[in-house]
Amino acid sequence: MKVLGLIFAGARGESLGLLTTKRASAGMPVAGKYRAIDFTLSNMIASNITRVGVLTQYNPRSLIDHLGSGKEWDLDRKHGGLMLLQPYMDIHSSYWYRGTADAIHQNMTFLRRSEEDYVLITSGDHIYNFNYSELFNYHFAKGSDITFMYKSLDESYKINEYGILQVDDDNRIYSFEEKPTVPVGNKASMGVYFLNKYLLMDMLYNTVP
Domain residue spans of the chain: 3-148+192-207
Segment 161-181, tens digit of pLDDT: 899 999 999 999 999 999 999
Measured distance CA(73)–CA(34) in Å, rounded: 13
pLDDT in tens, 6-28: 999 866 565 655 565 666 778 77
pTM, rounded to two decimals: 0.90
Tens of pLDDT, residues 58-103: 777 888 888 889 998 999 988 899 999 987 766 666 677 777 888 8
Read off the pLDDT band of 46 (50, 70, 90).
Answer: very high
* CATH, domain 3-148+192-207, list 3.30.70.270, 3.30.980.10, 3.90.550.10, 3.40.50.720: 3.90.550.10
Is the dihedral angle over the CA atoms 142, 204, 107, 59 positive or is it negative? negative
Give how far Cα 33 sits from Cα of 19, 21, 28, 38, 126, Å: 15, 19, 10, 10, 16
